Amino acid sequence: MHLKAAAHIEAMSAFALANFGGYDRTTLAQNESAFPPSPRAIAAGRDAMTRSHLYPDPDWTELRKAIAQAYGAEPDLTLCGAGSMDLISCTIAAFSGPGSQVLGTSYAYNFVASAVARVDAIYLKAPERDFAVSVDNILTTLTPATRIVFVCNPGNPTGTVIPNAELLRLRAGLPRDVLLVVDQAYGEFDDQDPKPVFALVARGDTVVLRTLSKAYGLAGARVGWGLFPPAVAAQVRKMQNSNQVTTSSLAMAVAAMADQAYMRETVARTAGIRDQFAHDLRSAGYHVPESRTNFVLIGFSSAAVAEAAEKALRGAGIIVRSLGGYGLRDCLRATVGPQEMMDRALHILIDMRGE
């Protein structure tokens, strides 16, 4: 081929999603909600489709108000995007660049590594401890070239949380010119008060990201949001394509935000299925870290056993996420899906222990 992309793009690998063998079935591989979105969100989205000849509100005015209502978040500090992936890549593009470093943690969300590679920056990982983020390790891995520290809390693919106090300690230990990004995609599954971490945004050096893809069951609508200090927001907005969040997605998101009771019910039902599944797996001898998300990490005795389990589940039409890309070949990640599917997955995994 004669055409060449930029050298750093040629060198990077494409972002790897799970291997589904088609999109025609429910999978336990993408951390999608086990439950559909609020009926009010669906009705609002349908209604908004009639206005699709008009561009959407580029300032997400109604959604910012709805988020402020639900979270006590400052509308002036809120940015929205086409999923929080949009906000992650725009933040990284604005605040790092060729030769600068972004510091994540060993098992942190892989998309961050892709977003860093796109802008020819360098991605470093601080080791985690017992499948949880270690603030001490982040602080010792930091270098003078580090521009952004990226932490997922709760973590993906681990599912674990660290206390808010640890995030405050991390912020206090970082230089003021390092941007801390706290990705709380699963924040609604964590019962800690969100306010102390949201309050860090007022310092001017911290961003907190959320999404409607998980607890609100709107992964297909592509709506994320975050709290950004005004000076940071001004730069990130330059990287965003305007009108990224569609009219119908905005309408769905506003209605979903306003229906907090439905979201809480979804979270409670999901957590109920998750905790029983995790408990039964532990009883069968699997290592399953305590999850505060809509998925569980399952540890196997070896990579070969994990691979055999992945195959056995796949044979039964259940797709889970292999984690070789995270350096966790001996683990699988299973999203909490419909009860009936979790029961089938559990039986397959228990039978494997018996062999």
| Listed residue (22, 290, 107, 76) closest to 201, CA to CA | 76
Q: Find the shortest distance in angstroms from Cβ 255 to ligand PLP.
A: 18
Residue closer to ligand PLP by CB (options 125, 214) is: 214
Residue closer to ligand PLP by CB (options 17, 165) is: 17
Q: Find the shortest distance in angstroms from Cβ 132 to ligand PLP.
A: 14
Q: Find the shortest distance in angstroms from Cβ 14 to ligand PLP.
A: 17
Q: Find the shortest distance in angstroms from Cβ 337 to ligand PLP.
A: 15
Residue closer to ligand PLP by CB (options 29, 251) is: 29
Q: Which residue is nearest to ligand PLP (CB)?
A: 83
Residue closer to ligand PLP by CB (options 111, 351) is: 111
| Listed residue (289, 286, 281) closest to 347, CA to CA | 281
Residue closer to ligand PLP by CB (options 174, 218) is: 218
Are the CB atoms for 149 and 97 separated by under 8 Å? Answer: no
Angle at 160 between CA 67 and CA 133, to 5 degrees: 100
Q: Find the shortest distance in angstroms from Cβ 258 to ligand PLP.
A: 19
Are the CB atoms for 133 and 151 separated by under 8 Å? Answer: yes
Q: Find the shortest distance in angstroms from Cβ 115 to ligand PLP.
A: 11
Residue closer to ligand PLP by CB (options 56, 159) is: 159
Q: What does the CA dihedral 104, 108, 114, 120 come to, rounded to 10 degrees?
A: 10
Q: Which structure tokens are listed for 262? A: 């439905």
DSSP assignment of 58-99 equals: TT-HHHHHHHHHHH---GGGEEEESHHHHHHHHHHHHH--TT
Other beta carbons less than 10 A from residue 37's beta carbon: 25
User: 124 φ, ψ to 5°?
Assistant: -115, 155
CA gap 194, 269 in Å, rounded: 21
Q: Find the shortest distance in angstroms from Cβ 355 to ligand PLP.
A: 33
Any idea how long the chain is?
355
User: 122 φ, ψ to 5°?
Assistant: -110, 135
Three-class SS state of 183: strand
Q: Under the phi-then-psi rule, with left for phi > 0, alpha for psi from -120 to 50, and beta for the rest, what region is 50?
A: alpha
CA gap 148, 207 in Å, rounded: 10
Q: Find the shortest distance in angstroms from Cβ 29 to ligand PLP.
A: 12
Residue closer to ligand PLP by CB (options 152, 306) is: 152
Residue closer to ligand PLP by CB (options 37, 83) is: 83
Are the CB atoms for 237 and 93 separated by under 8 Å? Answer: no
Q: Which residues bind ligand PLP (CB under 6 A)?
A: 31, 83-85, 109, 152, 156, 183, 185, 211, 213-214, 219, 224
